[in-house]
Structure 1
Amino acid sequence: MEEQLLIRSENKCELCGSAGSLKLFEVLPHAGRTEDNCVMICDKCLAQVEKTEEPDLKHLNCLRTSIWSAVPGVQVITWRLLNRLKDENWAADSLDMMYLDEDTLAWAQAGLDEESNTANEVHKDCNGQLLETGNSVVLTKTLDVKGSSLSAKLGTVVKNIRLVENNTDQIEGKIEGQTIVILTRYVRKQS
């Protein structure tokens, strides 16, 4: 199927048109893997779709073009991304111009419902204990802090943590006066 999608996409990202490295992306929720619910997507667009990077408005301007795609999977991703950005005038205008048939719109909205349900998930430590803002945690692994010479040692206590919104895998805390992001799988709630 990947070969068929590369032919359809002309070896370009089906959102932004980039000829960079492409990945097959299955647009969920949908039953079965078909050409209609799979798209070829570049790393930059994938990071935007999966929210692993902050929204890059300059890059996401490509959605103004992808709204015209005839591929249902592309339409769904485009609609979802535009909905996340609907406070931007250009995104709201693009949403107004976009047409989705009833089934495709229902599919796109189902994905938004899943995203909002994910936002209601809770932060848990490595043992499955519920974490809340203000808790103290202990590091279960020595961590090198990106962009810094700081190394947070195993057993370090981090007091008064804050939960990272929209990402249940991360918390924020201060170590040696520096605020850092810590993955919840490397912390244990202090009793």
Structure 2
Amino acid sequence: MSLEKQLQERSQNKCELCNATANLGVYEVPPVDIPSADNSIYVCETCKSQIEKREQIDPEHWRVLTETMWSEYAPVQVVAWRMLSRLRNESWAADSLDILYLDDDTLEWAKKTGDHEQDATVQFHQDSNGTRLYDGDTVVLIKTLDVKGSSVNAKLGTVIKNIRLDPNNTDYIEGKIDGQTIVILTKYLRKG
């Protein structure tokens, strides 16, 4: 039986975190060497995108963890613990975290990624207007910039296509002007 079929049966075709019944799929709870039902859960796209930090965390969506954290399955407990830890500034999440008991092995697994040490805020690359930027976007300079150590002409209104996001710093992107790759602060850009 496939992993997805096993998780569908276990979860009764519901998200194991929020009980949603649409847009469900397998989520392998990191770190994973060989995916199995013992290290994977069945979740909706809303939960998955917030777990993976592709979207901002909505604390109201996660209130259901006060019930689902009691799952008998370790991977569900691990993700519940991690999300409650990220939401620990919410009083209900802190209270739930205080009463959630995990055996030593499960708690060690939950702490392995270090994700629980971060807060619920997710940083995204945003232009000067607060519009989210993605790899491959086209942007326009809103200010003439001096490019140090180069003869590149970075004037107001210059269009930069196919940008690359700096994964380590949301304040910067990389783009090509006159065939030369430069690093630009996002506060000097607007999405084109």
- TM-score in terms of structure 1 length: 0.65
Shift of 1:170: 3.8
Q: Is the 8 A contact 2:28 2:35 kept in 1?
A: yes
Q: Is the 8 A contact 2:18 2:65 kept in 1?
A: yes
Q: SS at 2:42's partner residue? A: strand
Q: Which has the larger radius of gyration?
A: 2
Amino acid at match of 1:17: N
For residues 48-92 of structure 1, what are the alpha-carbon distances to aligned partners after superposition, in whole Å with 9 as ceiling and x for unaligned?
101111110110111111210011111111100111111111001
Q: Are 1:153 and 2:146 an aligned pair?
A: no
Q: SS at 2:171's partner residue? A: strand
Q: SS at 1:6's partner residue? A: helix
* Residues 143 and 68 of structure 1, relative CA distance in 2, 3 Å threshold: same
Shift of 1:21: 1.1
Identify the match of residue 43 of structure 1 among 24, 31, 45.
45
Identify the match of residue 9 of structure 2 among 7, 14, 17.
7
Matches within 5 A, 1:17-96: 17-96=19-98
Q: Are 1:171 and 2:171 an aligned pair?
A: yes
Question: Hey, what's the Cα distance between the residues in 2 that align with 1:114 and 1:82?
Answer: 8
Shift of 1:186: 4.4
User: Which residue is equivalent to 1:100?
Assistant: 102
* Residues 142 and 32 of structure 1, relative CA distance in 2, 3 Å threshold: closer
Please give the root-mean-square deviation of Cα atoms over the aligned residues, in Å: 3.2
* Residues 186 and 73 of structure 1, relative CA distance in 2, 3 Å threshold: farther
Structure 1 unaligned segments of length 5 or more: list them: 117-122, 124-139, 146-150, 156-162, 173-183
Structure 2 unaligned segments of length 5 or more: list them: 119-124, 126-134, 141-156, 185-192
Q: SS at 1:41's partner residue? A: strand
How many residue pairs align between the two structures? 144
* Runs of 4+ that moved beyond 6 A: none
Amino acid at match of 1:154: I
- TM-score in terms of structure 2 length: 0.65
